[in-house]
Amino acid sequence: RNLISQETFKFHFKNLRYAIDRKDTFLCYEVTRKDCDSPVSLHHGVFKNKDNIHAEICFLYWFHDKVLKVLSPREEFKITWYMSWSPCFECAEQVLRFLATHHNLSLDIFSSRLYNIRDPENQQNLCRLVQEGAQVAAMDLYEFKKCWKKFVDNGGRRFRPWKKLLTNFRYQDSKLQEIL
């Protein structure tokens, strides 16, 4: 099981308006069967940027090479991402191509912060992700708690929200809604 440290989570997932020195993207993922009464996690873990390859692309390579081969193409699966940054333009392009070729997969993306949100190409691709059926949302307190519980080496400690978490969520959410 792939966990991140408490310090890494608090530093990289803190939903600041201006996140200085936070260049890495962390992607916590979960894959479940879509039509289950009580979804069971088939796969979950954490990716981060590696060798100039963004976390989203690392996930897509891994998923294509390791997971797709064992999943039934007749079943529907849900992929959920909890990300420190929303996808950049290029990564969103790759994700769009991936979703277009795998109709039995749905994707929910919850991001702590919006990446380069003033860039029209980034805005356009966030819209395209939604148009192609992906759910794109800002992480709220519930998602932070869920991420902390499942993906952080938390030593049994409960998630303690940082100051302005809800204020910053409202800011991120309102900017995302303006775009979408």
Tell me the CATH number at 133.
3.40.140.10
Judging by DSSP bridges, how do beta strands 26-33 and 41-48 pair with one another? antiparallel
Helices (H), 83-164: 89-101, 120-131, 141-151
Domain that holds residue 109: 6-179
| Predicted confidence band of residue 82 (pLDDT cuts 50, 70, 90) | very high
Question: Is 92 inside any structural domain?
Answer: yes
Question: Is 59 inside any structural domain?
Answer: yes
Contact 30/79 with Cβ under 8 angstroms? Answer: yes
Position 40 scores a pLDDT of 67
Position 69 scores a pLDDT of 76
Give catalytic status of residue 56 as yes or no.
yes
Q: What is the pLDDT of residues 27-57, one digit of tens each?
A: 999 998 877 666 667 889 999 999 889 999 9
Position 67 scores a pLDDT of 82
Angle at 106 between CA 66 and CA 46, to 5 degrees: 50
Question: Is 39 inside any structural domain?
Answer: yes
Q: What is the pLDDT of residues 141-166, one digit of tens each?
A: 999 999 999 999 999 999 999 999 99
Question: Is 172 inside any structural domain?
Answer: yes
Segment 117-144 mean pLDDT: 93
Question: Is 154 inside any structural domain?
Answer: yes
Is the whole model's pTM more than 0.75, yes or no? yes
Selected residue with higher pLDDT from 37 and 6:
6
Question: Is 1 inside any structural domain?
Answer: no
- Please state, for a pLDDT cut of 70, what percent of the chain lies above it: 96
Q: How many CB atoms lie within 10 A of CB 57?
A: 20
Residue 65 pLDDT more than 60? yes
Question: Is 101 inside any structural domain?
Answer: yes
Element (H, E) at 111: strand 105-113
Tell me the C-alpha to C-alpha distance, in Å, between residue 124 and each of 36, 40, 87, 147. 33, 33, 12, 27
Question: Is 117 inside any structural domain?
Answer: yes
Count the domains in the chain: 1
Position 36 scores a pLDDT of 65
Backbone phi, psi, residue 135, to 5°: -95, 130
Q: Which of 7, 56, 76, 143 is catalytic?
A: 56
